Structures are given as structure tokens and as C-alpha cells.
Amino acid sequence: MKKQLIAAAIAAFGASMAHAGPADHIFTPNVEYGEREIEFSAGSFRDHGKEDETAGVLTFGMGVTQFWFTEIGVEYERERGESFRREAFEWENKFQLTEPGQYFIDLGALVEIERPRDHDEGWELKIGLLTQKDFDKVQLNFNLLAERHYDSEEKSRTEVGYQWQAKYRWMPQFEVGLQGLGVFGNWGSWERNGDQEHSVGPAIFGKIQTGGRTAIKYNAAYLVGLTKPSPDHTLRATVEFEF
């Protein structure tokens, strides 16, 4: 079954990330069976000469099996001068494809469906291949993501992007590292390198035990755009309550 999931994820890249949103977070491939969490992610774009954008996503998820984690959530967005409005519902599913340390790289797969509040905007399907490699106290992640937008009035389009992070596990309550996000462009007609979106910057992470199985996890990053189409600055953070 796991081999079939891998094949499906790889095939999706040839068939199917829209521009990374300000509240997007870095996915990791591992699943903890029985874990439940309430998660809030928020972020803001600051772009000189363009519209600023702020977004927040509230989700509830749980580890249904030893290899499947699912969560549902609602996304809110706001542009400069406007109030927050509900933008979309999302259903995210993460599949752990290998046991941690079983092979040279840990593998996972992501399948996410998003339904905009305005049904005339269609819906979106995101599929990802998630990877992780640990070197003692250093954790490395790199993900390939493909998002296909289905619209009844416009031609469906596919965009491919990536995520990566590197962090040093200094102590459980506080870790430091770097994060990066990017979008290559539409599948089959990727833009020139100068027209792609690439952002990178420092990040902090941590997990604070609050008794029993409960804990609070957090991470935050400040990203700087490396290309002209990228937001000049992105500030994003995620807080999870695990129980």
C-alpha cells in the first residue's frame, strides 16, 4: 500500500503549489498514532508597491493510524484596508511511508483538498512528497509540492513548488534554523529563474511539555524574498496544542 502511495504522489507531479500563502507551514513526514492537536497558523506578506496580505488557519487533526494523520481546518484572509473573511475550508491528509531511520531518508506523502468560500472559484488539490534526514541534532526537510486548481470558468492549471528547513535541536524548548519556500511556476511552462518565487530566512522552534501527553509546540520564521515576484518580507508562525 505504501508503495502505491509513493507512486501516486510521484505521478501527481506530472499531472497536477499555487503561490505559497503567508500562513503556510513546513510539512514533516512522520505521524504519531493517537495524537490529537489544535493548530493555529498565521502569517503576513509585506510587499512594497503591492497589496499586503495576512492569513490565518485554524485546524483540528489526529493520528488515525500509525501512518495516517488527518486534519480539517478553516482559512481566513485579509488584505490591507479590509477585514478578515473566511476564505476556504481545507482537508489535509499526511501518510508516513517509512519508519523513522528505516532507510537513508524518511518519506511521507501529502494530499490536501481546499474548497474556497466562493464556490465559483472551484477547488484545489495539493499533493506532496515529504522527506526528512536526521544527523544527530540536525534535522533536514525538503518537500516537493504540486497544486492543481480546478475552475469551472477558467482553464485548470498546475503549479509546482518546494519547501525546506534545517534546524539544530539545541534543547526541546528552543531550537534554531532556517526555512525556505518557493514556487517554480506552471507545470510544463516554468518561468525564467528571475520570475520565480523564492524566499528564505531564520526560524525558531520548540516544544513545551505541559503534563501527561499534552504539550505546546511552536515555530516562527522571518523570510526575505530573493526574486522580484516574491514578497519582500514574510512573517509567519504556528502554535499547536497536542493532547
Stretch 157-183: mean pLDDT: 95
Domain range annotation of the chain: 2-242
pLDDT at 72 over 50: yes
pLDDT at 6 over 50: no
pLDDT at 32 over 70: yes
pTM of the shown model? 0.86
The proportion of the chain whose per-residue pLDDT surpasses 90, expressed as a percent, equals: 67
Structure confidence at residue 149 as a pLDDT band (50, 70, 90):
confident
pLDDT at 144 over 90: yes
50 CA to centre of own chain: 23
Domain 2-242 top-level CATH class: mainly beta
